[in-house]
Structure 1
Amino acid sequence: MSVNFFRNSRLTAGVISLILSSGLAVAEPQHGIAMYGDPELPPDFVSLPYVNIDAPKGGVIAAGEVGSFDSLNPYIQKGRVPWQLRFLGVESLMGRNWDEPFSLYGLLAESIEVGPNREWVEFTLRDEARFSDGSPVTVEDVMWSYETLGTKGHGRYRGLWGKIGSMEQTGPNKVKFTFNVEDRELALIVGMRPILKKAQWEGVDFETSRLDQVPITSSPYVVDDYEAGRFVTLKRNPDYWGNDLPYRRGTMNFDEIRMEFFGDETALFEAFKGGLLNTNREFNVEKWETQYGFPAIGAGEVVKSEIPHARPSGIIGLAMNTRKDLFADWRVRDAMTHAFNFEYINEILTGSKQPRITSYFSNSVLGMQDGPATGKVKELLEPFKDDLLPGALEGYALPVSDGSERNRKNLRKALALMEEAGYTVQDGVMKDGDGNPFTFEILMRKGNSEHERIADTFVQALKRMSIDATINTIDSAQYKERTLEYDFDMTFYWRGVSLSPGNEQYNYWGSNGVETPGTRNWMGVNSPAVDAMINEILTAQSREDFVSATRALDRVLTSGRYVIPFYTYTNGRLAHAKELSYPERIPVYGDWITWQSDVWWWEDK
């Protein structure tokens, strides 16, 4: 099946226009909001630009996941939850258009107003908004949801609560949030929080609910059936309140969404080949080209679709925990990066067909540029020059090997870096000055054979440096527990980033995550420059300043040598039943988050 990437979303710049009345700046209700400039879709838009408004309703989409689950409440810290429930099973005040870097449009809220500098935001709820049990969505539900998530919910929700100075009901259907910090993104972030039904949780401990309490929301889909650790089925609510909303036209087309869980990727792939699943996302290009020739594809019952995108690469690789003394020294981390023979690994796993991630925001306009920092980027980084690692200002590039298994040149460099950090080979073992061996554990989650092969090849390379590294593969429950507490030396790490990075960057690599458990700062990044660049991103008044701040952040993170990068995915690859269809128009984010479940449909062919 072919696709056309019609255009990149235009990246507009500017600020929200103010309406002047009697010499005073007065806000007025708007149908949407953009991080910079105005939202692209007009007030009378018919639908999102990448949907088929005539898509038929019906059919089942069945996808597989590696792992297990013991909870259906994705809004609390405890338990393992199917990740899709955080997106499919809930609605927020505003909804995102994935064909723009960061713009929101009315969903539960019919309008949004902001202060002159976005120091406050006010939403007006729709009269017709309903939970799945038919009860109305009220301001009381909204306010309860924000306070509960901000104080008892998952860590991802708590940062916002601390930046809300006040929350008040300002009318029958109006709720206003006033912020206590300067942060232009907060007006948008507030619009994206889950809205739950307050009455459901009266007399119930929200924080400890697992399978016994499925959150009641206003989503088009509700949990219909499940078996702990094996499957979850969502059914489309026939009485869904928002079918006629412009934001919802052409979306949520399947009658049923089914998620099946497997112990490893091999079992999942066999289930797909056998027809238990009707869609499968493939990340390995060599496997895509060599193992997707089974009978159903030959008969045309299953088709292969490649989905382009223009989003940043994010970071995928082996994260080194700098909280541990072993990896606190950047020269050790640099040595590990040199010892990791990417070119050889890429050849044996993908036939050298997948490009390497070169920075956290590579493959986008937000990525750091080659060579020394210049202009605004240099200006932002100069105050921190005494603390920055080599390469941040001068320019940094990952080491490149000759592609052979021995990787001699880079291993020599790695040994020299280890010696600079105080380690030498003594009696055939890498040791520090006190004779303590340099040894560490690579923590892996059971089920991903490709990542285990990468780790194993890396371990073999380290043996040539007289370093003893061991791979410890554990189940998903143990893995989650240990990574929440940062109880590892090195582990696999995957963090996607968007075309509009913002407050989530603090959770990913802000210094608060060094001590606070449960953040995504697994590496323990503790850099004043990183915190300052994130603040610059959040307070930028123009698109140009925003891009410069992100490029500066990218330089600090990449030159920090915190993660040894793998390869990136410039296309999404989906094999699926021929009846599963999608529009020709692909959003700028491509196959992202819930694009497949949101806009695809079933059509008999």
Structure 2
Amino acid sequence: MGLDFFPRVRSLISGISLILAAGFASAESAHGIAMYGDPALPPDFVSLPYANPDAPKGGRIVFGNVGSFDSLNPFIRKGNPPWQLRFWGYESLMGRSWDEPFTLYGLLAESVRTAPDRSWVEFTLRPEARFSDGSPVTVEDVIWSYETLGTKGQLRYRTLWTQIKTIEQTGPRSLRISFKTDNRELALIAGLRPILKKAQWEGRDFTASGLETIPIGTGAYVVSDFEPGRHVTLKRNPDYWGRNLPFRRGTQNFDEMRIEFFGDETALFEAFKAGQLSVFREFNAERWQTQYDFPAVQRGDIVLSEIPHKRPSGMTGLVMNTRRAPFDDWRVREALILAFNFEYINETVTGGAQPRITSYFSNSELGMRHGPARGRVRELLEPFAGSLPPGALEGYELPKGDGTARNRRNLRKAVKLLREAGWTVQDGVLRNAEGRPLRFTILLRQSAGEMETAVDIYAQALERLGIEVTVEKVDEAQYAAREAVYDFDMTTFRRDLSLSPGTEQRLYWGSAGATESGSRNLMGMNSPAAEAMIDAMLAATSHEDFVSAVRALDRVLTAGRYVIPIWQYDVGRIAHVRQLHYPERLPIYGDRIGFLPDVWWYEE
């Protein structure tokens, strides 16, 4: 590939010499690594740009979760641990800056080195890196963690392991990982695997651990107390090894962090109003405007903060399981989208204050553009023209209602599509040629909240079409079990997407998930076009090619009509006690992982 950069008149020896020189330069150790270009922060940076390096240490913060927990091991498939644990108590070789689309800086590793084509990556551990019990982090621990998580851990960790050709120690504190596939992102993903202590698990079954064994990590916080299903408390380790790192300066400021568990969102909100919790995230714009005038807010004891962001909208809504008829027919899916009276439902639930999600990567440069596909996006999609869903090349937009409760125009369009798909009304019931009625179940969590209201309105519209709908509510454990084996017709869906989509897209939309249980491909899509767009995205060597591939993928997903999109969360809304503070300089990802509680602090 490098020879293409040299005129043919140059000698072969001269060309090879230049290539080797460039290779050695690219392979020099560095303090960070970016997906494209160079890290924004220099080697001698003082702190992350959105952290306050002078933030005081101390204080306590209390969060609330809906549901329960029966495990304190966030790395295995068994059990239901508090989702925060893997972020608060564990670290990886590199740490992510949430002010750049995808850039990592040294954390457990003091430096990173990679091949020019990123076919391998090498990390050198910091000599001072320690587990929370004071023992040093070794190369042996790192290699064991990669293999164990890659073969026995959560599915999110297994994909990388299948793409590793070799992982070997190259020095007293260094190791090299070589990859099987041409995927430039792998060098970065490899830096983000949590590192656990090998010796802790000798003679123990890693996959069976729950409340009895808490994995030892290297993070600043350790579990100090818990009551199954009720609460978990973590305290900052006074001997935390990385407290003086520039990457950690101004972060991890609380002495104690506690998670309380509640049966539903209503109970959680009432607990916050009663002063039992320190923070509450509000996702409904209308409630933010109408239900936050209680006495603590009026006194100034509770502060209402809005956190803007520049990340993609992601996708939130109701997903249809295409593994089951009639959802395997795009015309039926489009009809069900038409029947969802978004404008009326949005006005009822959020006061119309939150705009609709228009595509998976909307609100960012990665989102598909209106109208027909053009330029490089079209070039990527055209080889799959015969299998693409209608609208992927020509342009697709979600239907818009007239804002009234009846939504007659869209329902008429839905009836026409259903008729084309072989479904007609017979004695008030929608049936196919065999006389089988169109009926399905919408699966909801017990704590569905505003989604339950939306579904109730939606069900009434479906009944007017002659479709019989059953709404089934189950607890968190049952929901997780059924979701894992795709035991649903239609259910709630939320997929957060970043400014740096990568290998995880295979887990979300890859064809393997159409049949394998436990993936995040809930809709069961099996699209060669989507697979090819993911390949193009991962192989891109320029930002422009990367953006084109993601926009093309966005078209395939959106025109596939797998999800009925609802409203987007265009700003983070956090109600918190007045003693909690955050920096004025906000990261581009806004209120997401790496913001609260990472860069907040407690101060009277």
Structure-2 residue corresponding to 1:118: 118
Task: Give the superposition deviation at 1:360.
Answer: 0.1
SS in 2 for 1:379: helix
Superposition pairs of residues 352-431 of structure 1, within 5 angstroms: 352-431=352-431
Structure-2 residue corresponding to 1:599: 599
Structure-2 residue corresponding to 1:10: none
SS in 2 for 1:551: helix
CA contact (8 A) 1:507 1:521 kept: yes
Q: Work out the CA distance in 2 between the residues paired with 1:86 and 1:216.
A: 11
* 1:542-564 per-position Cα deviation (integer Å, ceiling 9, x unaligned): 00000000000000000000000
Superposition pairs of residues 180-579 of structure 1, within 5 angstroms: 180-579=180-579
Q: Work out the CA distance in 2 between the residues paired with 1:160 and 1:424.
A: 48
Q: What letter matches 2:577 in structure 1?
A: A
* 1:309-368 per-position Cα deviation (integer Å, ceiling 9, x unaligned): 000000000000000112000000000000000000000111111000000000100000
* 1:202-238 per-position Cα deviation (integer Å, ceiling 9, x unaligned): 1110001110110100000001111111111111000
Structure-1 residue corresponding to 2:3: none
Asked if 1:97 is matched to 2:97, the reply is yes
Task: Give the superposition deviation at 1:522.
Answer: 0.3
Q: Work out the CA distance in 2 between the residues paired with 1:68 and 1:601.
A: 27
Structure-2 residue corresponding to 1:6: none
* 1:501-560 per-position Cα deviation (integer Å, ceiling 9, x unaligned): 000000111111111111110000110000000111100010000000000000000000
CA contact (8 A) 1:323 1:514 kept: yes
Structure-2 residue corresponding to 1:55: 55
Task: Give the superposition deviation at 1:594.
Answer: 3.6
Q: What letter matches 1:460 in structure 2?
A: Q
Where do 5+ consecutive residues of structure 2 fail to align?
Answer: 1-15
CA contact (8 A) 1:88 1:594 kept: no
Q: Work out the CA distance in 2 between the residues paired with 1:285 and 1:113.
A: 46
Q: Work out the CA distance in 2 between the residues paired with 1:22 and 1:460.
A: 68
Q: Work out the CA distance in 1 between the residues paired with 2:260 and 2:419.
A: 49
Structure-1 residue corresponding to 2:39: 39
* 1:105-162 per-position Cα deviation (integer Å, ceiling 9, x unaligned): 0000000000110000000000000000000000000000000000001111101000
Superposition pairs of residues 35-184 of structure 1, within 5 angstroms: 35-184=35-184
Q: Work out the CA distance in 1 between the residues paired with 2:366 and 2:17.
A: 32
Q: Work out the CA distance in 2 between the residues paired with 1:158 and 1:550.
A: 23
SS in 1 for 2:345: helix
Q: What letter matches 2:591 in structure 1?
A: D
Q: Work out the CA distance in 1 between the residues paired with 2:502 and 2:275.
A: 41
SS in 2 for 1:158: helix
CA contact (8 A) 2:377 2:551 kept: yes
SS in 2 for 1:575: strand
CA contact (8 A) 2:45 2:246 kept: yes
Q: What letter matches 2:101 in structure 1?
A: P
Q: What letter matches 1:289 in structure 2?
A: Q
The TM-score with structure 1 as length reference comes to: 0.96
Q: Work out the CA distance in 2 between the residues paired with 1:451 and 1:232.
A: 28
CA contact (8 A) 2:112 2:121 kept: yes
CA contact (8 A) 1:396 1:559 kept: yes
Q: Work out the CA distance in 2 between the residues paired with 1:490 and 1:323.
A: 11
Q: Work out the CA distance in 1 between the residues paired with 2:282 and 2:325.
A: 37
Q: What letter matches 2:211 in structure 1?
A: L
Q: Work out the CA distance in 1 between the residues paired with 2:449 and 2:250.
A: 38
Q: Work out the CA distance in 2 between the residues paired with 1:83 and 1:276.
A: 20
Q: Work out the CA distance in 1 between the residues paired with 2:326 and 2:208.
A: 36
SS in 1 for 2:326: helix
Task: Give the superposition deviation at 1:290.
Answer: 0.3
CA contact (8 A) 1:19 1:25 kept: no
CA contact (8 A) 2:356 2:568 kept: yes
SS in 2 for 1:325: coil
Structure-2 residue corresponding to 1:8: none
Q: Work out the CA distance in 2 between the residues paired with 1:218 and 1:22.
A: 38
Q: What letter matches 1:71 in structure 2?
A: S
SS in 1 for 2:203: coil
Q: What letter matches 2:362 in structure 1?
A: S
Q: Work out the CA distance in 1 between the residues paired with 2:280 and 2:205.
A: 37
Q: Work out the CA distance in 1 between the residues paired with 2:160 and 2:352.
A: 42
Q: Work out the CA distance in 1 between the residues paired with 2:78 and 2:385.
A: 41
SS in 2 for 1:546: helix
CA contact (8 A) 2:98 2:594 kept: no
Q: Work out the CA distance in 1 between the residues paired with 2:469 and 2:112.
A: 54
Q: What letter matches 2:495 in structure 1?
A: R
Structure-1 residue corresponding to 2:29: 29
Q: Work out the CA distance in 1 between the residues paired with 2:22 and 2:78.
A: 49
Task: Give the superposition deviation at 1:448.
Answer: 2.5
Q: What letter matches 1:428 in structure 2?
A: G
Q: What letter matches 1:179 in structure 2?
A: F
* 1:482-504 per-position Cα deviation (integer Å, ceiling 9, x unaligned): 00001100000000000000000
SS in 2 for 1:235: strand
Q: What letter matches 2:273 in structure 1?
A: K
More deviation in 548-557 or 61-70?
Answer: 61-70
The TM-score with structure 2 as length reference comes to: 0.96
Q: What letter matches 2:92 in structure 1?
A: S
SS in 2 for 1:595: coil
Q: 1:137 to 1:341 in 2, by over 3 A?
A: same
SS in 2 for 1:306: strand
Q: Give the aligned CA root-mean-square deviation in angstroms.
A: 1.1
Task: Give the superposition deviation at 1:21.
Answer: 8.8
Task: Give the superposition deviation at 1:246.
Answer: 0.7
* 1:46-70 per-position Cα deviation (integer Å, ceiling 9, x unaligned): 1100011000001111111111110
SS in 1 for 2:210: coil
**Identity, % of aligned positions:** 65
Q: 1:24 to 1:563 in 2, by over 3 A?
A: closer
Structure-1 residue corresponding to 2:590: 590
CA contact (8 A) 2:444 2:452 kept: yes
* 1:366-397 per-position Cα deviation (integer Å, ceiling 9, x unaligned): 00000000000000000000001111000000
Q: What letter matches 1:578 in structure 2?
A: R
More deviation in 313-322 or 80-89?
Answer: 80-89
Q: What letter matches 2:64 in structure 1?
A: G
Structure-2 residue corresponding to 1:7: none
